[in-house]
Amino acid sequence: MKTLLVLVLALGLAAPALASDRHPTLGELEGEVMCPTCKTTLDQSSAPIADRIRQYISARIAAGDTKSEIKAKLVAQFGPAVLAEPSKHGFNLLAWVLPLVGIGLAAAALGLLAWRWTRSREPVAAVAGAPLDPELDRRVDEELARFDN
């Protein structure tokens, strides 16, 4: 049952992604492609080369290219830096993996700290249960008796 649910969810998520790759829009690609001269995404640039790339993307969409094909053609012209997101293979994979590793390490460090902190508090509780000094015990009794009166 669980496997079926996971499969349905995976298919549900994959379908829009596949549709987006097969039928990309200029709008979504504008947010994923960089303007080479201004170092911002196309949707934030009005530079001449940004206009030209927009024109190129529209032409490629009209010609039936998928998003991956359009991106590959842009990378062939302008290099990998034309993509707003690094690719998910080769050396660029590090850009995706390292933040996850960092989060994992931070979580592990926090867990370790919490564990050590709770352990360090245990002896304090033990001390609280230890017998009091007889003199101090007598004074506490006297004070409590005075308080009760």
Partner 1 sequence: MPTGLKRGLQGISVAVVVGLLALLAWKVVHQDKGVANELAKGKRPPAPHFDLTRLDRTGKLSLASLRGKVVVLNFWASWCAPCKSEAPRLEAAWQSYRRDGVVVVGVDAQDFSGDARKFMRAHELTYPNVHDGPGKVLPKYGVTGFPETYFVGRDGRLVGERIQGEISRQELTAGIKRALAS
Using CB under 8 A as the binding rule, whether residue 84 contacts partner 1 is answered as no
| Whole-number Å distance between alpha carbons of 72 and 80 | 9
**Eight-state DSSP code of residue 109:** H
User: Given the complex with partner 1, which of 120 and 149 has the nearer CB atom?
Assistant: 120
User: Given the complex with partner 1, which of 13 and 79 has the nearer CB atom?
Assistant: 79
Residue of the chain from 22, 23, 88, 116 that contacts partner 1 (CB under 8 A): 116
Using CB under 8 A as the binding rule, whether residue 52 contacts partner 1 is answered as yes
> Is the distance from CB of 96 to CB of 90 less than 8 angstroms?
no
Using CB under 8 A as the binding rule, whether residue 56 contacts partner 1 is answered as yes
Min CB(15)–partner 1 separation in Å: 33
> Is the distance from CB of 58 to CB of 50 less than 8 angstroms?
no
Using CB under 8 A as the binding rule, whether residue 110 contacts partner 1 is answered as no
| Whole-number Å distance between alpha carbons of 115 and 16 | 43
Burial of residue 84, with CB atoms counted within 10 A of its CB: 0-12 exposed, 13-18 middle, 19 or more buried: middle
Q: Give the residues lining the site for partner 1 (CB under 8 A).
A: 36-37, 48-49, 52, 56, 76-79, 81-82, 113, 116-117, 120
